[in-house]
Amino acid sequence: MTFPAPARPGAVPRLRLAGITKAYPTVVANDGIDLAVLPGEIHAVLGENGAGKSTLMKIIYGIVKPDAGVIRWNEVPVAIANPARARKLGIGMVFQHFSLFESLTVAQNIALAVDPAHARAGLSARIEEASARYGLPLTPDRPVHSMSVGERQRVEIVRCLLQDPRLLILDEPTSVLTPQAIQALFATLRQLAGDGCSILYISHKLDEIRTLCHRATVLRAGRVTGTCDPRQESSSSLARMMIGSDLPHPRHRAPHVTGAALLTVQDLALPASDPFGTSLHDIHLDVHGGEIVGIAGIAGNGQRELLAALSGERRVCVAAAIRLCGEPVGHLDAGARRERGLAFIPEERLGRGAVPDMSLAENALLTASRRGLVRHGFVDLAAARRYATNVIGEYQVRAAGPDIDAGSLSGGNLQKFIVGRELRQRPKVLIAAQPTWGVDVGAAASIRQTLLDLRDAGVAILVISEELDELFEIADRIAVIAQGRLSAAKPARATNAEAMGLLMSGAFIAPDATIQRHSSAAGASGA
């Protein structure tokens, strides 16, 4: 593997931060941070959820104004008042929480960020060329609202790369990308670094940091606690620098499957709800109490549609196509399925998992109202606050209290709250999509252990994730979804990542099924 060498140590930093401080009413997010990034350097910023990483990146990109400190660009002091000023300097950023307009197309969203001179003529062709070159397939005229989280991540990355940045900030860029797409992205980043582009890289995937980055700065509670060469460290030593202790490893005992399947899917077929969606074909699946079944796949192959059908967001014509604890529920909505013991962790935190402008207590009401939070038709705000407070405590959510807005939490802390809110409801069946997306290594291990403990208590758990490592760590059986079809689930111990990757390419789909799928799609589009 070729690895671009960073500029010599004596080179002038492209970006230098001195004493950057940012305080909010309840927390000091950044406390006197010093940081320097050289030309051609891939520099990691590590830390737990809430350590101040995203706030610091937003300061560099002009979204947040620091209370104190100096930013130097090529050793010249600058004031970055807004993202437009950052882009003019040559700074680009890929956000963890997407900054996309859902009602606009891919090309329209990208046009808002690129030079107006390039926003009209030939932009769609440039998008297609860039997405092909970087292994991040995109359709320029596709509306963003029809895209999965992984596909939206591609839009963010391609939009940023089209700006030809001199400093590229990446906040959890691979959290919902496939292994193949990650390797393609890494090749691009190494090429950019070799051409002199500086890269600030935030990720909780320590193996990525060790593989990709030249230097790492570690933040804890808003302060710099050290720097290192991650190539000379182990994942365990990096974890100790981040969280101050050894990384916990989930205890995965042999499953104890009991009784009939608690979640059964039989002959599920569902046409795509929009022209860019994926229709589901002949889906068969069963999940028993006491086991975790994982579903792997490349983003955009029907995960979004399957989740909508299972959660009740989309009802199906044949009620018996989906059974919950033996009862046909395909015709029931999401609320009715929750009443029967289903809990659901969606892949998208903001907007679906939580309402940003509502407090944590109010967000608890969204799915846990039946747990004593509503009495005689009236909301019990005190009970909602107690519920949210218990979630904050049990799942170590860094939040000032139950009355703080959900949108003010870091991505990882909001994810922990959503997971805790669902698990405290003691479901019979749990469906979790990307349960540890953007969560630090310590919290991710804790969430995975919680899922395993829930499994051991007899709950049936279905996990849809694009992280194969996660599925192999916690799943008892693993299936693959491709082109809207689901493979047979195999015992996790009887397969490996290479075999799963082959299935993700659609190797299990019969050729006549693929032809039939394309014919059906053509007929649907012409109807």
Residue 114 has φ and ψ, to the nearest 5°, of -90, 170
Q: Among residues of the chain, what percentage have pLDDT more than 90?
A: 52
Instruction: Read off the tokens for 291.
Output: 């086991």
Given a contact cutoff of 8 angstroms between Cβ atoms, the answer to whether 144 and 171 are in contact is no
* Among 517, 470, 521, CA closest to 497: 470
Least confident of 145-154, 215-224, 294-303, 378-387: 145-154
Question: Which residue is associated with the tokens 């207590």?
Answer: 361
pLDDT bin (cut points 50, 70, 90) of residue 525 is: very low
Q: What is the band of 492 on the pLDDT scale with cuts at 50, 70, 90?
A: very high
Q: Give the residue extent of every domain in the chain.
A: 15-243, 250-341+427-527, 350-425
Q: Please tell me the predicted confidence (pLDDT) of residue 330.
A: 95
Answer yes or no: is pLDDT of 364 > 90: yes
Amino acid identity at 186 = F
Q: Could you give the C-alpha distances from 393 to 389, 460, 463, in angstroms and in order?
A: 6, 25, 24
The strand pairing partners of 331, in sequence order, are none
Q: Can you give the length of the chain in residues?
A: 527
pLDDT band, residue 515 (cuts 50/70/90): very low
**DSSP secondary structure, 47-98, as one string:** --TTSSHHHHHHHHTTSS--SEEEEEETTEEE---SHHHHHHHTEEEE-SS-
Q: What is the DSSP letter of 196?
A: T
Q: Spell out the residues 6+ positions from residue 483 whose beta carbon is closer than 8 angstroms to its own.
A: 278, 281, 301, 302, 506, 509, 514, 517
- For 129, other C-beta atoms within 10 Å of its C-beta total 12
Average pLDDT (414-435) is: 92
**pLDDT tops 80 at residue 472:** yes
Checking if the pLDDT of 28 tops 50, the result is yes
Instruction: Label the pairing between strands 327-328 and 490-491.
Output: unpaired
287 close to 325: Cβ distance less than 8 angstroms: no
Separation of CA 302 from chain center: 17
Measured CA to CA in angstroms, residue 526 lies from 232, 274, 275, 331, 414 at distances of 58, 13, 11, 28, 42
Lowest mean pLDDT among 120-124, 316-320, 475-479: 120-124
Query: What are 407's two structure tokens?
Result: 């949108």
Coil, strand or helix: which one is 160?
helix
Beta strands 215-220; 223-228: pairing state:
antiparallel
Q: What's the pLDDT score for residue 444?
A: 83
Query: Taking a C-beta distance cutoff of 8 angstroms, is the pair 492, 476 a contact?
Result: yes
**CA-closest candidate to residue 338, choices 315, 368, 317, 360:** 368
Same CATH fold assignment for domains 15-243 and 250-341+427-527:
yes
Decide: 517 and 483 in contact? Cβ < 8 Å: yes
Does CATH place domain 15-243 in 3.40.50.300?
yes
Query: What average pLDDT does the segment 453-477 reach?
Result: 92
Mean pLDDT of the region 105-128: 82
Count of alpha carbons within 13 Å of 36, Cβ hemisphere only? 11
pLDDT at 177 over 70: no
Over 70: is that where the pLDDT of 185 sits? yes
> What is the separation of C-alpha 268 from the centre of its chain, rounded to a whole number of angstroms?
27
The whole-number average pLDDT for the span 239-262 is 77
Structure tokens at 285: 């699946």
Ramachandran quadrant class, 164 (left: phi over 0; alpha: psi -120 to 50; beta: rest): left
Q: For residue 334, how many other CB atoms are within 10 A of its CB?
A: 17
Residues 6+ apart with CB under 8 A from 8: none
At the top level of CATH, the class of 250-341+427-527 is alpha beta
Q: Are 58 and 215 in contact (CB under 8 A)?
A: no
What's the pLDDT at 523?
A: 36
Per the prediction, the chain carries an average pLDDT of: 87
482: which strand partners?
Answer: 485
Tokens 């998208």 belong to which residue?
A: 348
Q: Which of 12, 453, 392, 355 is nearest to 196 (CA)?
A: 12
